[in-house]
Amino acid sequence: MIDLYSWPTPNGIKVSIALEEMNLPYTFHPINIGRGEQFTPDFLEKSPNNRIPAITDSDTGVSVFESGAILLYLAEKTGLFLPPALPGRVEVLQWLFWQVGGIGPMCGQAHHFRQYAPEPVPYAIERYTREVARLYGVLDRRLAERAFLAGDYSIADMATFPWIAPFAQQGQDLEAFPNVARWFAAIAARPGVARGRSVGSALRKPMDESAKQVLFTQGAKIP
Ligand SMILES: N[C@@H](CCC(=O)N[C@@H](CS)C(=O)NCC(=O)O)C(=O)O
């Protein structure tokens, strides 16, 4: 049985989508990151980076943080959505790493400067909106010749999809990226994806000033 410690953000939703798509039983434990629950000793033991998501698996005694590592763990546990051997396996992993090291963090910065920064910083808005557009271009070209990132639907698609869902907040228009639009619609129509996206969705509220204090003033010490 898996315990999921998460919150309905793109990085959290990746994992609830994967759990639903893999038909794994799990219990959702909300970690309200706007209220500082990512800093409790209990949560830090599972996720020393004070970020959601994290899982524990009572079948194996394993605890995992970092969404990409969690997706890899779940794919290995079930034998689903990740080919077991080369070359298919590395095809999926390179796009999974592209998501966690590339499009995810860049979209996160675009969200920050376009919506949450206390004052407008035109250079940062331009820089991250352009970089996100570049990455959407990469995705669109990749999807021009295949239905999904690595051919068959995989954990790389599950990782990337929740970061494309808020495309308007990143200053992007899916009409400019027709292959991304087609891929996005195909994934959104999957019942497991719909179930995964709904996990905790009622809990998420617009970010207030006290949540901004918790999220955007962190330093080296645990608050
Ligand atoms: N590289 C991490 C990033 C996770 C992450 O940034 N999570 C955010 C929510 S999307 C979070 O927990 N933020 C809490 C905080 O900033 O303290 C992963 O992929 O799991």
pLDDT (tens digit per residue) in 163-174: 999 999 999 999
Q: Is residue 145, in this structure, part of any structural domain at all? A: yes
Residue 145 Cα to ligand 1 middle (Å): 32
Residues 24, 100 within the same domain: no
Residue 57 has a pLDDT of: 98
Q: Is residue 7, in this structure, part of any structural domain at all? A: yes
Q: Tell me which residue has its CA closest to atom 1 in ligand 1.
A: 66
CATH number at residue 67: 3.40.30.10
Residue where the block lists tokens 């407008």: 120
Closest CA to 199 of 16, 14, 9: 16
Residues 100, 163 within the same domain: yes
Per the structure block, which two tokens stand in for 18? 């994967």
Question: Phi, psi (5° rounding) for residue 53?
Answer: -95, 165
Task: Please give the average per-residue pLDDT across 58-76, as a whole number.
Answer: 98
Residue 48 belongs to domain spanning: 2-81+196-216
Mean pLDDT of the chain: 98
Task: Please give the average per-residue pLDDT across 137-149, as a whole number.
Answer: 98
Q: Cβ of 63: how many Cβ atoms within 10 Å?
A: 15
Residues 71, 92 within the same domain: no
Q: Which residues line ligand 1 (CB under 6 A)?
A: 9-11, 33, 38, 50-53, 66-68, 100, 215
Its pTM stands at: 0.98
| Residue type at position 127 | R
Q: Tell me which residue has its CA closest to atom 6 in ligand 1.
A: 51
Residues 104, 182 within the same domain: yes
pLDDT digits (tens, 9 = 90+) for 189-216: 999 999 999 999 999 999 999 999 999 9
Residues 101, 179 within the same domain: yes
pLDDT digits (tens, 9 = 90+) for 80-124: 999 999 999 999 999 999 999 999 999 999 999 999 999 999 999
The answer to whether 22 touches 74, Cβ cutoff 8 Å, is: yes
Q: Is residue 121, in this structure, part of any structural domain at all? A: yes
The answer to whether 15 touches 6, Cβ cutoff 8 Å, is: yes
Q: Could you please report the per-residue DSSP string of 50-84?
A: S-S-EEEETTTTEEEESHHHHHHHHHHHHT-SS-S
What's the total number of domains in the chain?
2
Residues 7, 45 within the same domain: yes
**Residue 37: CB partners within 8 Å, gap ≥ 6?**
30, 31, 43
Q: What percent of the chain has pLDDT over 70?
A: 100
pLDDT digits (tens, 9 = 90+) for 100-110: 999 999 999 99
Q: Nearest-5° angle of CA 97, CA 219, CA 71?
A: 25
Residues 156, 63 within the same domain: no
Q: Which of 13, 43, 46, 52 to mutate to test the pocket of ligand 1 (most atoms within 8 A of CB)?
A: 52
Q: Is residue 221, in this structure, part of any structural domain at all? A: no
Q: Could you please report the per-residue DSSP string of 78-111?
A: HT-SS-SSTTHHHHHHHHHHHIIIIIHHHHHHHH
Find the helix or strand (DSSP H, E) in which 6 lies. Answer: strand 2-6
Residue 40 has a pLDDT of: 98
Band of the pLDDT at 48, cuts 50, 70, 90?
A: very high
Q: Tell me which residue has its CA closest to atom 14 in ligand 1.
A: 51
Indicate which atom in ligand 1 lies nearest the CA of residue 10. Answer: 10
Residue 109 Cα to ligand 1 middle (Å): 12
Per the structure block, which two tokens stand in for 19? 């759990």
Residue 50 Cα to ligand 1 middle (Å): 7
Task: Please give the average per-residue pLDDT across 10-26, as a whole number.
Answer: 98
Residue 214 has a pLDDT of: 97
Residue 66 Cα to ligand 1 middle (Å): 8
Residue 163 Cα to ligand 1 middle (Å): 13
CATH number at residue 172: 1.20.1050.10
Q: Which of 6, 7, 11, 31 to mutate to test the pocket of ligand 1 (most atoms within 8 A of CB)?
A: 11
